[in-house]
């Protein structure tokens, strides 16, 4: 410890200790500070680095905050290779070839080259797959003869099926390096794209070389394995599976983006990126001119002028793939020459307060420093405009090859595609003009003049598209949200204002949905509105894009072990009460029956889980009549109208209280949350509104019952509940009908998402 303090306490270096409200606030503080370094102090981005303990958990907020401010950045680390879009395309094809029923992988493969299907076209394909109960590849063959599929779409599907046949043959017969090359050729990543910058072309060559090295290393570990087995190993590595693959996913291994490179890639996909003379530095392509976001050991590759070490809190996760805290600080001490910032989030993603790590606290005390409480640094209107400009520029560059490739197709809407591309360019000009408006002029005041000039230069069709665009609305909302901070203490208050601001920013940065309105027929409609449940509302609020994949496109997902376990417990309790509760033996028999049908198995881990369920259900039976209320209904359904929407669901249990009134109870098999953590809870408040509207029953109290801990946690209610819930549901319904499905990445939402392979926010 003394040597660590000595190495940190250099007189020529500034050291700061930041306490931030949460992970998002921590990321935004870092991004705002970096923007000031680059803008005011003229620090080169390549001289700045951000170290996070977990790229998967803490990486997305940092990358999102840097993107909001249009700060060039690059992700480095043991799993960064798998975040690149070219690698994700390869992984999608591997997953699809290994398992034709892998719908998320099929969806990404179909949305990219060579097919490039739009989401509305994918929705038709998935509708046919569900109707005929087929996997996606089989459903595509049906689409070739389906009259509802347009001829130009059938042509692109035929190209995809041809590629699938070729790659399926290569998977079984070709050498692993030949198979990898075939996938890259079919996805177009080996072609030299003149529309991307020189730096990005170099980065792509670098990425393909790393991917080739990884396949070569897998082949060396299993010399007799074919392409199929190596593809399965590659997919397992990308999904965070067996890291025991000879350390390939460990720090500094071949899978580590920016790690030491092997001499001469086996397949020669990018042979120009050889090892540097000292054998230590990575290839030159990946990070020049960009802030580096990295894992701890990657920080040991180069020295930086300014270094941020994030997430040093007591609740931070640890694993064999992550360096311990002391190593993090030692690396920071050795690699930060001018300035070092040590930061931690005071609240975790679940809202639980957490102190700084003991090592960070001891270091602060030894250096005589203080924790600085950092207010959330929301990006201003100018930062949002810069971020939106960068995002739209990237989208336009992606659209140009697609539009150009379709000019030769026999289509009736070619002129519409061209006009949309031109309008996107005009919107880029609009953003550039707004960024250079006179000082003191608002976006609203500048828009009228800019729009008049753009409309005068557009064709009638382009004018129609421009006038129907929601970009202006998003710009005004984003400016208003930036000017009006959320009320109350950011560390403790409910995040309604922050969520609204994040939604406006996500809509602006993600670009305006042009084809989403064509998904209207696939929305879960009920009359003039939508069919919604509490879980639908919660999913949309957590991530609108996840709602789109699950409920609009209806991409099937595999339930997690925790979800399957929770389903079993709910089934047991439902059937126990439906048959009239009698004895604990009856309860145990139902558990055995439901467990067998669930397919959870009987391995060591499953036996431990099974014993937990037995013990929890025994405690449930013993305390059933000792909780102060008498169970009146179980699994009681509700359905009512809220505005134009049809809200439906069911409540696990309704108890009649001794003093009169009723209590609504929802079972949970997760870790218990405290009353403060449930302050912003919506589910039970929606159930209370449902009881009033559907059953004409006014509940007196609400509670979650955590079955594994035999603990009931009440949820506070107040007179604003009904109004707050109604406004939230109506706002969610309006956003869905308007086609707003922008991703809102966060550690809590992204860590357990089934759709990461196809999510654009996961590619950095």
Are the C-beta atoms of residues 274 and 261 closer than 8 Å to each other?
Answer: yes
The residue written with tokens 């669901």 in the block is: 649
Instruction: Say which DSSP state 306 is in.
Output: E
Mean pLDDT of the chain: 80
CA 584 to chain centroid, in Å, comes to 43
Banded model confidence at residue 135, pLDDT cuts 50, 70, 90: confident
Q: Which residue has the tokens 């204002």?
A: 497
Distance from chain centroid for Cα 30: 20
Residue 515 has pLDDT above 60, yes or no: no
Our measurement of the distance from residue 654's CA atom to the centroid of its chain's CA atoms, rounded to an integer in Å, reads 35
pLDDT at 383: 67
Residue 41 confidence (pLDDT)? 84
- pLDDT for position 439: 83
**Residue 272 above 50 pLDDT?**
no
Longest Cα separation, the chain: 81
Residue 235 CA to residue 247 CA, distance in Å, equals 15
- pLDDT tens, 722-731? 778 888 899 9
513 or 35, which is more confident? 35
CA distance 122 to 129: 10
Average pLDDT over residues 14-43: 91
Asked if the model's pLDDT at residue 188 lies above 80, the reply is: yes
Beta bridge pairs of residue 292: 49, 74
Question: How much is the average pLDDT of 385-398?
Answer: 73
Q: Tell me the pLDDT tens digit for each residue of 406-459.
A: 677 656 667 787 888 898 889 889 988 888 888 888 888 899 899 999 999 999
pLDDT higher than 60, residue 487: no
pLDDT of 693 > 70? The answer is yes
Q: Where are the alpha helices (DSSP H) in 288-442?
A: 325-335, 358-366, 381-406, 414-435
- Asked if residue 238 has pLDDT above 50, the reply is yes
Identify the bridge partners of residue 525 per DSSP, sorted by sequence position.
530
Q: Is the pLDDT of residue 111 over 80?
A: yes
Output the pLDDT for position 380.
66
**Pairing verdict, β 662-668 and 645-656:** antiparallel
Name the burial class of residue 332, with classes exposed (0-12), middle (13-18) and buried (19+) by CB atoms within 10 angstroms of its CB.
buried
Rounded mean pLDDT of 6-16? 78
Is pLDDT larger for residue 301 or for residue 129?
129
Residue 405 pLDDT grade (very low, low, confident, very high; cuts 50, 70, 90): confident
Eight-class DSSP state of 243: T
Strands annotated E in 486-555: 525-526, 529-532
Give the confidence band of 299 by pLDDT, cuts at 50, 70, 90.
low
Burial code (b: 16+ CB inside 10 Å, e: under 16) for 482-521 equals: beeebeeebbeeebebbbbbbbbbbbbbbbbbbebeebee
Give pLDDT, residue 764: 54
DSSP H or E run through 649: strand 645-656
Average pLDDT over residues 466-472: 81
Of the chain, the percentage scoring pLDDT greater than 70 comes to 79
614-630 pLDDT, tens digit per residue, is: 999 999 888 876 767 78
Asked if the model's pLDDT at residue 357 lies above 60, the reply is yes
Percent of the chain at pLDDT > 90 equals 29
* Greater model confidence, 274 or 455: 455
Sort strands 711-715 and 701-706 into parallel, antiparallel or unpaired.
antiparallel
Phi and psi (nearest 5°) for 744? Answer: -125, 85
Q: Measured between alpha carbons, how far is 93 from 164 in angstroms, rounded to an integer?
A: 9
Residue 326 pLDDT class (50, 70, 90 cuts):
low
Query: Residue 290: left if φ>0, alpha if ψ -120 to 50, beta else—which one?
Result: beta
- 683-695 vs 534-542: helix crossing angle, rounded to 10: 150
Distance in angstroms (rounded) separating the CA atoms of residues 76 and 83: 10
Is residue 383 within 8 Å of 35, Cβ to Cβ? yes
> Above 60 in pLDDT, residue 508?
no
- Check residue 475 and give its pLDDT: 80
Q: Is 378 helix (H, G, I), strand (E, B) or coil?
A: coil
Position 342 scores a pLDDT of 92
**Closest alpha carbon to 524 in 548, 551, 547, 549:** 551
Select the more confidently predicted residue: 258 or 423.
423
Under the banding of pLDDT at 50, 70 and 90, the label for residue 71 is: confident
pLDDT digits (tens, 9 = 90+) for 307-324: 999 988 875 444 434 445
Of 119-123, 267-271, 587-591, the one with minimum mean pLDDT is 267-271
What's the pLDDT score for residue 516?
52
For residues 34 and 490, give the distance between their C-alpha atoms in angstroms, rounded to a whole number: 22
**Mean of pLDDT values over 12-29:** 90
Confidence of residue 169 (pLDDT cuts 50, 70, 90): very high
Structure tokens, 223: 């010399």
Give the separation between CA 557 and CA 758, rounded to whole angstroms: 13
For residue 637, count other CB atoms closer than 10 A to its CB: 12
- Tokens for 53? 């303990």
Task: Give the mean pLDDT of 733-761.
Answer: 80
Residue 20 pLDDT level (bands cut at 50, 70, 90): very high
Sheet bearing 48-51, strands edge to edge:
73-75, 291-294, 48-51, 304-309, 336-345, 14-20, 371-374
Q: How confident is the model at residue 514 (pLDDT cuts 50, 70, 90)?
A: very low
Q: DSSP class of residue 675?
A: T
Number of H helices, E strands in the chain: 27, 14
Q: Average pLDDT, stretch 370-381?
A: 82
**692, two tokens:** 């009033």
Res. 252 pLDDT band, cuts 50 70 90: very low
pLDDT of the residue at 44: 92
3-state helix, strand, coil in the chain (%, to 5): 55, 10, 35
Q: Tokens representing 641?
A: 């109208």
Q: What is the pLDDT of residue 350?
A: 60
């Amino acid at each position: 410890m003394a040597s660590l303090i000595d190495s940190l306490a250099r007189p020529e270096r500034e050291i700061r200790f930041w306490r931030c409200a949460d992970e998002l606030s921590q990321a935004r503080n870092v991004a705002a500070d970096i923007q000031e370094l680059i803008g005011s102090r003229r620090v080169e981005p390549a001289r700045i680095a951000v170290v996070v303990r977990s790229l998967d958990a803490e990486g997305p907020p940092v990358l999102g905050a840097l993107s909001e401010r249009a700060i060039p950045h690059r992700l480095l680390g043991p799993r960064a290779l798998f975040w690149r879009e070219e690698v994700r395309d390869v992984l999608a094809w591997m997953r699809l070839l290994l398992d034709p029923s892998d719908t998320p992988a099929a969806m990404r493969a179909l949305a990219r080259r060579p097919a490039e299907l739009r989401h509305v076209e994918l929705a038709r394909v998935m509708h046919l797959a569900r109707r005929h109960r087929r996997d996606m590849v089989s459903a595509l063959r049906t689409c070739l003869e389906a009259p509802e599929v347009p001829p130009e779409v059938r042509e692109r599907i035929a190209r995809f099926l041809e590629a699938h046949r070729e790659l399926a043959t290569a998977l079984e017969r070709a050498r692993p390096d030949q198979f990898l090359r075939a996938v890259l050729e079919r996805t177009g990543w080996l072609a030299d794209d003149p529309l991307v910058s020189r730096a990005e072309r170099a980065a792509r060559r670098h990425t393909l070389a790393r991917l080739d090295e990884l396949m070569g290393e897998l082949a060396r570990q299993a010399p007799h394995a074919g392409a199929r087995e190596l593809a399965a190993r590659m997919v397992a590595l990308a999904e965070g599976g067996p890291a025991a693959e000879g350390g390939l996913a460990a720090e500094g291994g071949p899978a580590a983006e920016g790690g030491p490179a092997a001499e001469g890639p086996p397949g020669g996909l990018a042979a120009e990126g050889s090892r540097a003379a000292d054998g230590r530095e990575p290839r030159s392509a990946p990070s020049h001119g960009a802030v580096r976001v990295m894992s701890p050991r990657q920080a040991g590759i180069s020295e930086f002028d300014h270094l941020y070490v994030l997430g040093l809190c007591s609740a931070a996760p640890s694993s064999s793939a992550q360096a311990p805290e002391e190593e993090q600080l030692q690396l920071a001490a050795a690699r930060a020459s001018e300035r070092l910032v040590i930061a931690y989030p005071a609240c975790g993603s679940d809202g639980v307060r957490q102190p700084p790590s003991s090592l960070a606290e001891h270091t602060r005390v030894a250096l005589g420093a203080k924790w600085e409480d950092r207010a959330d640094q929301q990006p201003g209107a100018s930062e949002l405009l810069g971020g939106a400009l960068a995002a739209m520029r990237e989208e336009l560059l992606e659209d140009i090859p697609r539009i150009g490739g379709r000019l030769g197709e026999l289509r009736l809407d070619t002129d519409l595609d061209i006009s949309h591309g031109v309008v996107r360019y005009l919107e880029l000009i609009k953003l550039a003009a707004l960024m250079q408006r006179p000082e003191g002029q608002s976006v609203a005041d500048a828009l009228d003049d800019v729009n008049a000039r753009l409309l005068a230069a557009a064709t009638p069709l382009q004018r129609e598209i421009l006038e129907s665009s929601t970009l202006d609305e998003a710009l005004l909302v984003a400016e208003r949200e930036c000017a009006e901070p959320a009320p109350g203490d950011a560390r403790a208050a409910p995040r309604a204002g922050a969520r609204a601001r994040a939604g406006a920013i996500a809509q602006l940065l993600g670009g305006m949905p042009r084809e989403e309105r064509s998904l209207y027929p696939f929305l879960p409609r009920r009359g003039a509105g939508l069919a919604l449940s509490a879980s639908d509302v919660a999913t949309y609020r957590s991530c609108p894009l996840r709602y789109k994949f699950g409920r609009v496109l209806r991409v099937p997902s595999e339930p997690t072990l925790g979800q399957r376990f929770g389903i079993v417990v709910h089934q047991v309790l439902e059937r126990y009460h439906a048959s009239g509760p009698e004895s604990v033996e009856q309860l145990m028999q139902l558990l055995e029956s439901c467990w067998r049908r669930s397919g959870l198995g009987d391995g060591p881990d499953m036996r431990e889980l099974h014993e937990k369920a037995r013990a929890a259900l025994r405690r449930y039976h013993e305390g059933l009549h000792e909780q102060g209320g008498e169970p009146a209904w179980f699994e009681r359904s509700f359905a009512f109208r809220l505005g134009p929407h049809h809200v439906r669901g069911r409540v696990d249990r309704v108890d009649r209280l001794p003093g009169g009134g009723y209590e609504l109870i929802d079972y949970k098999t997760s870790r218990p949350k405290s009353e403060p953590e449930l302050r912003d809870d919506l589910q039970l408040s929606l159930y209370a509104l449902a009881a009033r509207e559907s059953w004409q029953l006014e509940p007196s109290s609400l509670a979650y019952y955590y079955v594994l801990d035999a603990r009931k946690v009440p949820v506070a209610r107040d007179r604003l509940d009904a109004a707050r819930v109604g406004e939230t549901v109506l706002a969610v319904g309006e956003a869905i009908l308007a086609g707003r499905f922008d991703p809102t990445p966060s550690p809590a939402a992204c860590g357990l998402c089934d759709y990461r392979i196809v999510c654009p926010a996961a590619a950095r």
